[in-house]
């Protein structure tokens, strides 16, 4: 299990640091770390206090950790990066460790894949980080993960750092006007499958959702899309607008309107329906709510949409009632209201 670190994990993480440095001290310098210089207890403590450290726990034991944030060190802008990436779209990996006792356990790959997913859900398209040029094991590992070595930085004292960069195939962003047609095509594909009896959403072609639905959301700067290799594969509208019918919900949390973030009309292209994009989009939504100081999440779906209800249930959403109403121009809807508190 990979999770946010807490203060109870501090000693375990520091022990991994110490174990790696002990290996360094008994053999050739590979990682390039030095006891009492880097990494120290303060590195781990700062990562935990800022909420930026993640740990991999197996059998009740911490076997790996990393710090993830958008802070690029002072010398990062000096690099010959392959991509002209905006700072707010770059997720940086720091102090990535796996316990030496773990051996070839696959823990490094688990942590790295989590790093990629975390970057995507935070709206970051680019990964950047560095390692010592003598750390050939890590360099080979990163190449296996599809990351490119882009340049070397010569530090004072002769140390050389190798910098890495990767552009993610899948990431989430604000939608643009040119995305409206692609979003509308996903709506139409879903309508077509509904009409043939292959799925059930309760939506009706020409009523909801339509191209106008997508256009209005984009114009209001509330539409987000998931892009994979240049293709729009999922979309949703995210804002603080609760429909009038939400007043009838049996909400567990008495939240103020400014404390609630709502996700509307989440769609995944039927051609990509088994790739985990609904789950990833929900994670993005939850992170977006947190960043905008909205601790309460609310969504809705048609009672007939068993697939959506199952997904939301698996993600920790609880149903706050079923309301009979006319919704988005569709009569006779039994609308399921769902809620969750952002972690």
CA-closest candidate to residue 295, choices 265, 329, 328, 256 = 256
By CB neighbour count within 10 A (0-12 exposed, 13-18 middle, 19+ buried), where does 133 fall? Answer: middle
Domain boundaries, the chain: 2-168, 173-341
Mean pLDDT of 310-315: 96
Mean pLDDT of 69-85: 86
| 296 touches 341 (CB < 8 A) | yes
Check whether 67 has a pLDDT greater than 70: yes
Binned at pLDDT 50, 70 and 90, residue 159 comes out as confident
Mean pLDDT of 13-31: 89
Q: Specify the range with the lowest mean pLDDT, choosing from 77-81, 149-153, 187-191, 268-272.
A: 77-81
| CATH, domain 2-168, list 3.40.50.280, 3.40.630.30, 3.30.110.40, 3.40.50.12280 | 3.40.630.30
Check whether 308 has a pLDDT greater than 80: yes
| 2-168 and 173-341, same CATH topology | yes
Binned at pLDDT 50, 70 and 90, residue 156 comes out as confident
Check whether 73 has a pLDDT greater than 80: yes
pLDDT attached to residue 254: 86
Binned at pLDDT 50, 70 and 90, residue 122 comes out as very high
Check whether 215 has a pLDDT greater than 90: yes
pLDDT attached to residue 29: 63
pLDDT attached to residue 31: 85
Q: Specify the range with the lowest mean pLDDT, choosing from 152-156, 204-208, 217-221.
A: 152-156
Average pLDDT over the chain reads 94
pLDDT in tens, 177-214: 999 999 999 999 999 999 999 999 999 999 999 999 99
Mean pLDDT of 274-299: 94
| Superfamily the domain 173-341 falls into | Gcn5-related N-acetyltransferase (GNAT) (3.40.630.30)
Mean pLDDT of 122-139: 92
What is the 3 state secondary structure string of the chain?
A: CEEECCHHHHHHHHHHHHHHHHHHHCCCCCCCCECCCECCHHHHHHHHHCCCEEEEEECCEEEEEEEEECCCCCCHHHCCCCCCCCHHHEEEEEEEEECHHHCCCCHHHHHHHHHHHHHHHCCCCEEEEEEECCCHHHHHHHHHCCCEEEEEEECCCCCEEEEEEEECCEEEEECCHHHHHHHHHHHHHHHHHHHCCCCCCCCECCCECCHHHHHHHHHCCCEEEEEECCEEEEEEEEECCCCHHHHHCCCCCCCCHHHEEEEEEEEECHHHCCCCHHHHHHHHHHHHHHHCCCCEEEEEEECCCHHHHHHHHHCCCEEEEEEEEEECCEEEEEEEEEEEECC
Binned at pLDDT 50, 70 and 90, residue 30 comes out as confident
Q: Note the pTM of the prediction, 2 decimals.
A: 0.84
């Amino acid at each position: 299990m990979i999770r946010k670190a807490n203060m109870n994990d501090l000693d375990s993480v520091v022990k991994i640091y110490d174990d790696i440095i002990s290996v360094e001290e008994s053999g050739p310098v590979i990682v390039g770390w030095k006891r009492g210089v880097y990494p120290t207890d303060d590195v781990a403590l700062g990562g935990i206090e800022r909420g930026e450290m993640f740990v991999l726990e197996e059998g009740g034991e911490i076997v790996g950790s990393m710090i993830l944030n958008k802070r690029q060190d002072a010398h990062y802008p000096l690099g010959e990066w392959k991509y002209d990436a905006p700072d707010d779209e770059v997720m940086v990996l720091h102090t990535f460790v796996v316990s030496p006792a773990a051996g070839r356990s696959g823990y490094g790959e688990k942590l790295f894949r989590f790093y990629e997913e975390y970057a995507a859900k935070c709206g970051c398209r680019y990964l950047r980080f560095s390692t010592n040029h003598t750390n050939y094991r890590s360099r080979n590992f990163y190449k296996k993960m599809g990351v490119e070595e882009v340049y070397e930085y010569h530090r004072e004292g002769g140390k050389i750092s190798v910098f890495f960069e990767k552009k993610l195939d899948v990431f989430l962003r604000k939608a643009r006007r040119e995305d409206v047609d692609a979003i509308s095509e996903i709506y139409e594909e879903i309508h077509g499958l509904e009409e043939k009896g292959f799925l059930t959403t309760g939506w009706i072609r020409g009523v909801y959702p339509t191209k106008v639905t997508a256009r209005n959301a984009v114009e209001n700067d509330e539409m987000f899309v998931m892009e994979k290799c240049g293709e729009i594969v999922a979309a949703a509208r995210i804002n603080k607008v609760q429909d009038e019918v939400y007043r009838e919900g049996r909400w567990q949390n008495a939240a103020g309107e400014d404390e609630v973030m709502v996700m509307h009309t989440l769609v995944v292209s039927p051609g990509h329906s088994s790739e985990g994009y609904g789950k990833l989009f929900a994670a993005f939504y939850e992170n977006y709510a947190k960043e905008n100081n909205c601790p309460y999440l609310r969504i809705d779906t048609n009672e007939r949409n068993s697939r959506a209800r199952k997904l939301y249930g698996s993600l920790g959403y609880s149903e706050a009632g079923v309301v009979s109403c006319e919704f988005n121009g569709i009569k006779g809807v039994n609308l399921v209201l769902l809620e969750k508190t952002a972690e």
